[in-house]
Structure 1
Amino acid sequence: MTLRKAGWALSATGLLMLAVGIPIAAWTRRRDLNEFNAYVGWSNILGMSLGAVGLAFLIWDRLKADSPNSRTKLLETSDILARAILKRESLQLARLLGTDELERRAARVTLIERHRVTSRRSGTTPQRSKSIHLDSIDSYYTDSTSGRMLLTGDPGSGKTVALLTLVTNLLNRRRDAANNSDATTIAVPVLFGLPSWPGDQELFDWMSADLVRRFGIRLDLATSLIAEGMIIPILDSLDEVDPGEGDSSRSTAMVSRINRYTATSVGIGIVVTCRSGTPRSANLKGKLRGFTELEMQPLKGQAIAAYMAEHGQGNDPQTWQGLADAASVGNSPVQILLGVPWRLAMATAFYNGGGDAGDLLPTASESRRGQKALRVYLERVEPILLESFLRYRSLHFGRDPKRSLKDLTTIATLANKVSPGTRRDAGIILPDWASFMDSVSKKKSPLLESLGLLAAVQAPFAVYQLLHWLGLANYPGSEPTNRSGWPVALSFSANLLLVSVLTATRASGESFPRAITSRRLRTKKGAAIASVVTLCVGVTAIFSFAVLDKSSAVLYTASLGLAGVTAVILNPYDPAQYQAPTDILRRDLYAACMIGAATGFLQFVALEGILGPQEAACFGFSYVISAVITSSFAKYLRATWTGYSQHGLPLRFAAFLAWGTTAGLLRMSGTAYEYRHTSLRDYLLRRGERKIEDSAPSET
């Protein structure tokens, strides 16, 4: 008999004795009160003892299954992670390729396989090419590569869409195969933004920490998932790791770490994306070992013209057609401009928003051959497209374009202040927004902040004194029965010091967001913990009603019950709960309220007989306030006010980020917000720099 079966058997036997055997046997002894009491007492002890032993067996068995090395636990966690990522990335892909707006539909792009094969005759390494359609990128990855794939392409060529398509297709295949024996062989693809790499961590350690940061997975589970090959790392933007064009030390170090990871992780899949067409990208690609390269191809004249004819709805079809004709000329400036899907989508939005298509045609000097003329043309046209794209999106989704542009520029400028001149953009994570704002804003006095926190936790006492002064707090029987001397003063001072210290330490320390979820109750471990809590509260209730007065017993039992429920349903490590960035803050607020209510009730019950019900209630409310004001939610509110008062950011900051995601200006990566495209972020940074230069006093 297994440990689990033995546990269930003992627990069931104990419950049957309590629920069935005792009433039947006791009924036969009802005429002899002493024999009845003795029989019921010993039967309760025996039944509860058997149940407790069985429950201990079940908990032991579940803890063994919950070990990070347990295959069952890893599969369960990977399934939860897969569902969470599929929901997020499917939504993200739908936002990038929404069918509600014509210019956001995907262009028909293709990919070319480029990997080198050694020739036996000449000893050279000629390239072999194979055309791949975007819809079949997942089949190509699983069937035609060793699991190591390098996805390259020009900026805006559709690498993000290709990655999201790969991720969602693989996860859909994993979901469809859930009932088959080979379901567990499909690993979970997870996107990692390489620009957020700190520069001093091994790839394995950094990915583990990033899983914890973005998805709330325990660190031991995250490391086991990666080590067992149960996730496929999708490493995005290798070329953006470096701070500038002249320094490639960070990207070179990352390539070395990728090679070390693949050398020690044989048979484990990995995907890397990198820009193409520059000496740096060519150097980085050459250093990666064992990767099959898949290159995004620019759109050609026929595909560009078909897209423009289908989606262009402006008021100057003749000029629009002239632009399409110019794009059909091979290697022309217009074809190079619109051959990138991102710029083609922006050009369509520009035209549909009332822009003059003639502004996108090259001038005589820009039409000359050569890279210099092409660079001048692109530098002139790209800002026009980006600004019109931002304006069109803002108007279409109901916001003032000037205000939206200002807010997005401010966010990009502040993010760049964290590491000036670098591209280490880790995204905006709302629970971390307080520490981010502290690093870029004017420092407040620590003494003033501490005094503010202490004032908040002592607010109930101030309110009580005010009510007492107004004559509203003198209720009959409110004075304690043993209110005298130093015990009262000591209890009052000790508890006030305790709540103050708890508030100060939690406010200054790192606090991971907490969540309340009933999902835990549906697991065997959660059910076992709930059973133990119920048993303890029940025994305490019997004792309380036997030795205390009725009202005190009710309060004491309710306090313990609330504390027990908090212990069962409070869970900070549930990736399935984090379906949106704001969910973390919302659930953290719920958890803080639950913790505060539980501790507050316990304080009230403990102090009511010493200090009286009103002052004991003040202490209870102080614990509630302490839990709430030190939560991630309260820190986010403080950071939002700092951003509003010092930098002019929207007061409803989370709502603005959600709007930017819906409008296609931002994207979500896990629980982080990022700019949809690097060129958009760079444009906003340049705009912010020009604004700073224009506002600087000129020398006379």
Structure 2
Amino acid sequence: MRGRVWSGRSALGVGVGITAFLVSIVVATVWLLSLTDGDDGAGIANVLALPLTMLLGLPPLIWGWRARPRADDPLVLAREARRLLDVVATTEARTLATLLGDTGRARPADVGFAQPEAAQVTWRTDGGTVTGSLNTVTDFYDTLELGRLLVLGAAGSGKTVLVLQLLRDLADRARPALESGGRTTVRVPVRLSLPSFIAPTSTVDAGLLRAALDDWMTRQLTVRGTPKAIARALVDNGWVLPILDGLDEMDPDDGDAPRAQQVLAALNDPVGSAPGPVVLTCRAHRYARLARKSGGVLQDATAVTLQPLDAEQVISWLAYRFPDSTQQDGLQKRWRRVATTLRKHPRGRLAACLTTPLRLYLATAVFQSPDTKPARMCEMDADELEKFLFAQLVPALTRHHPRDEHSHYRPDDVGRWLTTLADHLAVMAKRGQSGVDLYPLRLWGTSKSATRTRSHTAVLSGTATFFWVDNSLLDYALTSGLIAIVVGIGVYHGEPWKSAGNIGRVNLRALVVAVLLNVAFVVAYHGLVASYDYFWVLLLWMAVHAFLFFLVTDPQHSIERPSSAIRLPLWTECVSSSFFVFFLYLNSALQSDDGLLWETFSLATLLDAVPLCAIGVVAFLGVDGTAAHFVSALRTKRGDELPRRLGQFLDWAYHAGLLRMSGTATQFRHRELQDHFTTVRTRRTARPRRR
């Protein structure tokens, strides 16, 4: 039986019940205290008030709790699938526009594909026509019996663009079925970055690997805002079509690709009577090596290999990007020599470069300005042209995309900062983590001053813990010191307890409700302690307080710009931890086993709480793992590795087309571009560290 989830009705019922319980016990206790005298007045008042609070609070509380629908209820799944589809469609539309370096109605080139020759296929296929193109990829997918598609191609051939087009078409087709409000299962296409999947290294059983892959997909859906129980039900009940991007990016290029083999074993494990539908991308040579050396193939799947664009397709797309209806081919005059050369030498060095989507993008980005001369490319040999396009990309983008209204980034600075990002990802890949997904708050972990940052963070967190514990919770310096030492050691040697991709946003309405409930509990504390044991009352308050702490943040399924991956976590952690620490201090300062110490309460009490709460927040962030970024960001000597305003630079790089977003992760727009900025000393030539 699946777990249950909160709905609007159930949350309202529980909220009304809790509010009625707390308000009624406060009102009834105060009223009855005014009617009773003597030392036992408080106890008598609370005993008489308890039935009233139960009468008013329990019915809506029980009704709301029992009204929670099951996570696998088809109506619940359909409602969440509609929301997830909207999120995916919007996010991936932005991603496609970024990859194409275009705005408005971005249209990719109609790249073609074909199934490999029968002699090259050593696995069972899933049917399908022999050839197709980007514009007809959805029709091709419909001809597959099981919906298992393998997209192969050379580096920069447009694999991601093809699956994005397939995702958009499938999303458009799924939307009417979901909006009709029916209970029929509708598959929502979701693109997931495979390098972030980390399976247990010792696991070889296909069933266990499949379970690990399903768990990972569930976590990826929760990052996109789906509650965990519903995400699991969506995966298990076939509401998700996984589009797994980057099988070739999971392992070093010269290794045996153990992680890729694990993924293939998991995907080949039957789901019911047959393997489940999936779309998988991989470089052609990498997949051929997997099939040849380890026998790792995707069974019951149809493979298609992307074909280079022909000269007419390139000219047609250039005319779409640089239109001029008065010129031949509807293409701007400055591109005429390029079009002529492509037609005259359809297999020449210029055609060999521009018929791959990545190089075509590089050319359009470098020669975007009307005062540039694309004809220069016709005079270069193949190697010179390749180096020229990659080398001129950053200067061209810095020229066309200003940093602000009055200034531009310097190309040398941008290149150096991008190298830092690429080297960070290379180091993460060697550590067995994703070498594609970038999380800015983790950049300090691979910097030259990582050890110094850990030391400073540990000292800061330990010191803050000592002062806060000693002044607000305990009066014993020795005990506080021991706690501070343990916290400092844990911060130095530990890792953040939250996943890098989990980003939350403060829910202001939930925060206001949580504050009011805490205040009501503090007011009711006097009567509760008079009737019940101090320990149990304090334990109840701590449980309620911790529960409310986790409710004041909402998970973010995706972010619109890279800087949000810095700003949102820091703001959310500061607000939520301030809420937790302040009321924890206020409770300990105003309460005792004799009841509420109203005589100690004054404005000075609140003013005294401010510095102690600030210290407590620092201690909390140290334990949480977020303080390390503060320490790294506030260092006065950062060197030239990264800009001072990292978020602003990442946003600029995203809007300029150098980076793209995948959920809450930032990625280079293409793996070849990432490799271009990676230095030799950090290239992926070693095996990932076993964990």
Unaligned runs of 5+ in 2: 1-6, 28-34, 38-44, 204-208, 325-330, 403-408, 531-537, 684-691
Q: What one-letter code is carried by the residue in structure 2 that aligns with 1:581? A: A
CA distance in 1, matches of 2:252, 2:19: 66
Distance in structure 1 (CA, Å) of the matches to 2:11 and 2:288: 62
**Whole-Å separation in 2 of the counterparts to 1:296 and 1:666:** 24
1:511 aligns with 2:514: no
Q: CA deviation at 1:443?
A: 2.0
Match of 2:161 in 1: 161
Superposed displacement of residue 190, structure 1: 2.3
Matched, 1:664 2:683: no
2:151–2:279 CA contact under 8 A, matched in 1 = yes
Question: In 1, distance between residues paired with 2:509 and 2:15?
Answer: 20
- Residue 279 of structure 2 corresponds to 271
1:483-562 matches, within 5 Å, as 490=475, 505=490, 508=494, 510-512=496-498, 515=504, 517-518=506-507, 538=520, 541-542=523-524, 544=526
Question: 2:280 is aligned with what amino acid?
Answer: V
**In the alignment, which residue of structure 2 is the partner of 1:340?**
356
- TM-aligned CA distance change 1:680 to 1:211, over 3 Å: farther
Structure scoring higher RCO (CA < 8 A, sep ≥ 6) equals 2
Q: Could you say which residue in structure 1 is the equivalent of 2:192?
A: 192
Offset of residue 409 of structure 1 = 1.5
Query: Which residue number corresponds to residue 27 of structure 1?
Result: none
Q: Tell me by how many angstroms 1:165 deviates.
A: 2.4
Q: CA deviation at 1:657?
A: 1.9
Cα separation, 2, equivalents of 1:262 and 1:252: 18
Q: 2:303 aligns with which of 279, 288, 293?
A: 293
The equivalent of 2:587 in structure 1 is 602
Matches within 5 A, 1:216-235: 216=223, 222-235=231-244
Aligned to 1:170: 170
1:92 paired with 2:86, answer no
Q: How does 1:312-461 map to 2 (within 5 A)?
A: 320-328=335-343, 329-353=345-369, 357-361=374-378, 377-398=381-402, 399-419=409-429, 425-437=435-447, 441-444=449-452, 449-456=457-464
C-alpha distance in 1, partners of 2:272/2:673? 37
CA deviation after TM superposition for structure 1 residue 684, in Å:
1.3
SS at match of 1:390: helix
Q: 2:561 matched to 1:581? A: no
Give how far 1:650 is off: 1.4
The Cα of 1:656 is off from its aligned counterpart by 1.9
SS in 2 for 1:298: coil
Name the CA shift for 1:657/1:117 in 2 (closer, same or farther; >3 Å).
same
| 1:397-455 per-position Cα deviation (integer Å, ceiling 9, x unaligned) | 12221111111112212322344599951411234445454xx6452386654333234
In structure 2, do the counterparts of structure 1 residues 617 and 676 end up closer, same or farther at CA, with 3 Å as the change threshold? closer
Question: Retained in 2: the 8 A contact 1:113–1:128?
Answer: no
The equivalent of 2:147 in structure 1 is 147
CA distance in 2, matches of 1:250, 1:600: 51
Structure in which a larger fraction of residues adopt helix: 1
Match of 2:620 in 1: 627
Q: Could you say what secondary structure the match of 2:678 adopts? A: helix
Q: Deviations over 1:203-227 (max 9, x none)?
A: 5414523653684367665544333
- Once the 2 structures are TM-superposed, how far is the Cα of residue 632 of structure 1 from its aligned partner? 5.0
CA distance in 2, matches of 1:56, 1:48: 12
Which secondary structure state, in structure 1, belongs to the residue aligned with residue 280 of structure 2? strand
| Amino acid in structure 1 at the alignment position of 2:360 | L
In structure 2, what is the equivalent of residue 106 of structure 1?
A: 107
Distance 1:628 1:408 in 2: 28
Q: For the Cα contact (< 8 Å) 2:151–2:159, is it kept in 1?
A: yes
Q: Is the 8 A contact 2:491 2:623 kept in 1?
A: yes
Distance between the aligned counterparts of 2:58 and 2:668, measured in 1? 55
Query: Quick check: 2:16–2:57 contact (8 Å CA) kept in 1?
Result: no
1:179 aligns with 2:188: no
What residue in structure 2 maps to residue 212 of structure 1?
219
Aligned amino acid, residue 302 of structure 2: T
Aligned to 1:444, what secondary structure does the other structure show? helix
Q: 1:43 to 1:177 in 2, by over 3 A?
A: farther
- Using the size of structure 1 for normalisation, the TM-score is 0.70
Cα pair 1:641 1:651 within 8 Å, conserved: no
Q: 1:170 to 1:605 in 2, by over 3 A?
A: farther
Q: Distance in 1 between matches of 2:614 and 2:638?
A: 30
SS at match of 2:367: helix
Aligned-pair CA distance for 1:685: 2.0
- The alpha-carbon deviation at position 663 of structure 1 amounts to 0.9
Separation in 2, partners of 1:642, 1:13: 49
The secondary structure found in structure 1 opposite 2:115 is strand
Alignment partner, residue 238 of structure 1: 247
In 1: Cα distance, 2:438 partner to 2:286 partner:
29
Taking structure 1 as reference, are residues 647 and 59 closer, same or farther at Cα in structure 2, changes over 3 Å only?
Answer: farther
Aligned-partner SS, 2:638: helix
**SS of structure 1 residue aligned to 2:151:** strand
Going from structure 1 to structure 2, the CA distance change for 1:348 and 1:233 (only over 3 Å counts) comes to: same
Stretches of structure 1 lacking an aligned partner (at least 5 in a row): 24-31, 35-39, 119-123, 364-376, 465-486, 549-555, 691-700
Is the contact made by 1:7 and 1:55 (CA closer than 8 Å) also made in structure 2? Answer: no
1:665 is displaced (CA, Å) by 0.6
Summarize the Cα distance change of 1:618–1:342 in structure 2 as closer, same or farther, 3 Å threshold.
closer
- Aligned residue in 2 for 1:48: 53
> Residue type matched to 2:317 in 1?
Y
Q: Structure 2 vs 1, CA of residues 195 and 560 (structure 1 numbering), >3 Å: closer, same or farther?
A: closer
The whole-number CA distance in structure 2 between the counterparts of 1:427 and 1:671 is 9
Contact 2:194 2:244 in 1 (8 A): yes
Cα-to-partner distance string for 1:535-590 (whole Å, 9 max, x where unaligned): 88647525649999xxxxxxx9xx99994894473346564789853434432333
Report the alpha carbon displacement of residue 666 of structure 1 after superposing the two structures with TM: 0.8
Paired residue total: 611
Alpha-carbon separation, structure 2, partners of 1:348 and 1:117: 37
Partner-residue secondary structure (3-state), 1:157: coil
**Worse-matched range after superposition: 655-664 or 275-284:** 275-284
Question: Which residue type is aligned with residue 208 of structure 1?
Answer: D
How far residue 321 of structure 1 moved from its aligned partner, in angstroms, is 2.6
Q: State TM-score, norm by structure 2.
A: 0.71
Instruction: Give the conservation status (yes or no) of the 8 Å contact 1:428–1:672.
Output: yes
Counterpart residue identity of residue 541, structure 1? V
Decide whether the 8 Å contact of 1:212 with 1:218 is kept in 2.
no
Deviation at 1:139, TM superposition (A): 4.8
My pick for the range that moved more, 269-278 or 661-670, is 269-278
**Please, which moves more after superposition, 404-413 or 423-432?**
423-432
SS in 2 for 1:112: strand
How far apart in 1 are the matches of 2:12 and 2:669?
53
Matched residue SS, 1:645: coil
Aligned partner of residue 589 in structure 1, secondary structure:
helix
Q: Does the 8 A contact of 2:157 with 2:356 survive in 1? A: yes
1:648 is aligned to 2:633: no
**Aligned counterparts of 1:458 and 1:41: Cα–Cα separation in 2:** 38
* 1:150 aligned counterpart, secondary structure: strand
